Amino acid sequence: MRTVRITSADNKAVKTAKKLLTKKGRDSLGYYLIEGPKLFAEALDNDADILFAFFCEETADVAESLLSRRRALAEKAARAGADVLLTTERIFRGISGAETPQGVLAAVKKPVCGAETLFSRAGANILVLDRLQDPGNIGSLIRTADAAGFGGVMAAAGTCDPYGPKAVRAAAGALFRAPVLFVRDADEAADLLAAAGKRVAVADACGAVSCYDADLARDIALVIGNEGGGPSKAFAENAFVTVGIPMPGGAESLNAAAAAAILMFESVRQQRGAARQ
């Protein structure tokens, strides 16, 4: 446990933080960055493995309530065994992935997730990300899956890194709770889902069945395909249903995150209905 003041960009922790701004660095080091007091507090509350925490010294433009919270978080992080590092604003901005840094940043260990973890909850639905590219969509999808009680997330190769700064911000703490399993391709995903007894439901704007008529209550693997190209062939061929969302208005399609949210909470509605019967 240490508290250290850093003024040089050549500091080892600063260099590590900069590496974690890239996917290559995150993959090789096994950590990712979180930023902001709220997300940092959630990391502590969820017992995340924190390597180090940076706190910016310059606080003139920060509300007093945030300052008090930052001091409390620094003390809690130190008690948890993380290195607490005080930095200048210049150093902090060099490692921050945010346009408006909030003065708190930490390196958190990426969780290791295997199939046994992803499928540990009997009957739970799974969200499948099929080559999605927008980090904001990915973070929002993981956040919604967590909120809807899904068992976890499967990410097929070609999907943008959910541990990148923009995706982490959009996930808003869900990555501390929702297991994420990475697979090579749609074929591997289909095999794992079949072995786990999950039925593949592919979301498609031209889906053959309305989401209100499809059985989405349990043991579903909901596939959200690439924003422009749609789902992979292997998912489409292994789907028990292709679901669409009725849109009586003028729009032809919805943002991937918005469409997935409707489908996931339709699943929640069906579960509640089944429980009342």
Q: Please name which of 274, 124, 267, 109 lies closest in space to residue 203, comparing C-alpha atoms.
A: 267
CATH code for the structural domain at 115-276: 3.40.1280.10
Q: What is the pTM of this model?
A: 0.91
Judging by DSSP bridges, how do beta strands 180-183 and 152-156 pair with one another?
Answer: parallel
**Is residue 3 helix, strand or coil?**
strand
Q: Which pLDDT score is estimated for 60?
A: 47
Contacts of residue 166, defined as CB under 8 A and 6 or more positions apart, other chains included, come to: 97, 135, 136, 139
Q: Which pLDDT score is estimated for 1?
A: 41
Token pair for 188: 């591997």
Q: Which pLDDT score is estimated for 67?
A: 67
Question: How many other CB atoms sit within 10 Å of the CB of residue 144?
Answer: 22
User: Can you tell me the distance from the alpha carbon of 183 to that of 152, in angstroms, rounded to the nearest whole number?
Assistant: 13
Residue appearing with tokens 């998912």:
235
Query: Residue 97: what residue type?
Result: G
User: Can you tell me the distance from the alpha carbon of 195 to that of 237, in angstroms, rounded to the nearest whole number?
Assistant: 16
Does residue 166 contact residue 97 with C-beta atoms inside 8 Å? Answer: yes
Contacts of residue 27, defined as CB under 8 A and 6 or more positions apart, other chains included, come to: none
User: Can you tell me the distance from the alpha carbon of 139 to that of 134, in angstroms, rounded to the nearest whole number?
Assistant: 9
Mean pLDDT per 10-residue segment, the chain (277 residues) = 80 96 97 94 92 82 67 84 90 87 92 95 97 96 98 96 96 96 92 95 88 96 91 88 91 90 97 77
**Is residue 120 helix, strand or coil?**
coil
Domain boundaries, the chain: 3-109, 115-276
Q: Which pLDDT score is estimated for 2?
A: 54
Does residue 122 contact residue 151 with C-beta atoms inside 8 Å? Answer: no
- Name which CATH class applies to 3-109: alpha beta
Q: Which pLDDT score is estimated for 277?
A: 65
